[in-house]
Amino acid sequence: MTDTTPEDHHKVSHWDRPKPPHDWRWVVGGFGRTLITLGLLMFGFVAYQLWGTGIQTAQAQRELSAEFNKLVGGAGTTTTTIGTTAPIGTTTTIGTSVPTTSTAATDPATSSTTTPTVSTAPTTTTTPALASAKPIPAEGDAVARLEIPRMGLNRIVVEGAAAGDLAKGPGHFPETPLPGQLGNAAIAGHRTTHLHPFYDIDQLQPGDAITVTTLNGRYVYHVTGTEVVSPDDYAAVIPTTDPTKATLTLVSCTPRYSSSNRIIVHAELVAGESDPLTTAAPVVPGVQGPAQTLPDEGSVPSTTTVADSVGATLPLITSPTTAATAPVSVATSGATGTGTTSPDAFADGWFADTSAIPQALFWSLLVAAVAYGILWLSRKVRRYWVGILAGFVPFLVMLYFFYENVNRLLPPNL
């Protein structure tokens, strides 16, 4: 009996299969593949936000750290006293109360003797050294180094608290005094993106040390408390409420991965562990530079004292040009001089940065072009792995820049 069983079907290569008919199954299959592709892109975007944003931030921090170390190393901070130059914190005695003897003029016709006269030198006074505040850095430049042992944090702070500034690291609100000056210095930072410098800000406890090094000196603050406020109350915690105290405020969003509220950490300067205070540099709208930070030549400084959080007395170093401008609001230091607070960068909404729209479209086209190139090469050589191997790196690079510009269009994920 003859075996009529057909021969075993040989598997047809994927490249030799006929194209499927464009019926409902083709439509459903295409829709499913589209959803899978979008899901993978969304997972990739989440990974970009959590880790990819840190790539540029890490690079910016390296550059800012080198820049700041160079500025600190070349600062050569000195102080001006009457007729001399001395290190910060030294004093010069102007006079002592000791008698001096002088010889009166002798008239041969009336006397041949000398009469001693006693004159008293000026009463002993001590003039504190006058620290000249360094120029305020431009927006986006390094302004301080922030160290918080409890959080394991050591970051360079940039001037400015806009979204672009916070992408480089923690940002100092330019309308608030600098750390080491009277008034409330405010610094903002991310919690979940851009290396999340304030990730553990909620772990700070009263008494924890916060060290801020600026071009004017090194200042140690101790945490006094933490509060959570709504975005509507956010600006209320930034302005200076007590111009006789040097305080520091750290600002971020809470809870993590959300910008629904703001977490505020308050701290006060510890005099015994800090360099002398300086006053806020005078601000002229549209003008910024050394001429705005140096006292008048030949002027005599005035002094006063303030109390820190532990009751110790610390010297306040002032100059005639700034003594009358002690910070009583948020607009006492910085280049703007507008008298208003910076926009809440944490509250930016959808499409806040419209300039990113054309760039996002451009990079999306490049991503599509590279993906098509991978598919074309795979068909050409009839091997998928060849196309993937050739286009994997270019695809990731294009996808990274696409994600970067899409991220600029979204509300900040803090």
pTM of the predicted structure, to 2 decimals: 0.66
- Considering only residues 362 and 13, tell me which one the structure prediction assigns the higher pLDDT: 362
pLDDT of residue 189: 92
Give the residue, 74 or 240, on which the prediction is more confident.
240
Distances, alpha carbon 99 to alpha carbons 69, 93, 138, 410, in Å? 51, 17, 54, 77
Q: What is the mean pLDDT of the chain?
A: 73
Question: Looking at domain 56-74+131-283+301-345, which of 3.90.45.10, 1.20.1250.20, 3.90.660.10, 2.40.260.10 is its CATH number?
Answer: 2.40.260.10
Q: Lowest-pLDDT range, 52-66, 85-99, 159-173, 357-371?
A: 85-99
Q: Give the CA count within 13 Å in the CB-facing half-sphere of 338.
A: 8
| 3-class SS string, 380-408 | HHCCHHHHHHHHHHHHHHHHHHHHHHHHH
Query: φ, ψ for residue 114 (rounded to 5)?
Result: -105, 145
Amino acid at 215: L
The pLDDT assigned to 410 comes to 78
Q: What is the pLDDT of residue 401?
A: 93
Q: Is the dihedral of CA 358, 363, 364, 366 positive or negative?
A: positive
Cβ–Cβ under 8 Å, residues 259 and 232? no
The stretch 354-376 carries a mean pLDDT of 92
Listed by start position, the domains of the chain span: 56-74+131-283+301-345, 348-414
Tens of pLDDT, residue by residue over 111-142, are 444 444 444 444 444 433 435 667 778 888 99
How does DSSP classify residue 18? P
How far apart are the C-alpha atoms of 96 and 185, rounded to whole Å?
40
DSSP 345: G
Can the peptide bond before residue 206 be classed as cis, meaning omega within 30 degrees of 0? no
Residue 4 has pLDDT above 90, yes or no: no
pLDDT of residue 227: 93
pLDDT confidence of residue 9 = 54
Say what the pLDDT of residue 156 is: 96
The tens digit of pLDDT for each residue in 50-93 reads 888 888 899 999 999 999 998 887 655 443 333 333 333 333 33
pLDDT value at residue 71:
86
Q: What is the pLDDT of residue 230?
A: 86
Q: Return the structure tokens found at 409.
A: 């269009």
The pLDDT tens digits for 305-336 are 444 444 444 444 433 333 333 333 333 333 33
Structure-model confidence comparison of residues 233 and 149, the more confident one = 149
For residue 384, pLDDT over 50 is answered with yes
User: At 260, is the pLDDT very low, low, confident or very high (cuts 50, 70, 90)?
Assistant: confident
Stretch 29-57: mean pLDDT = 89
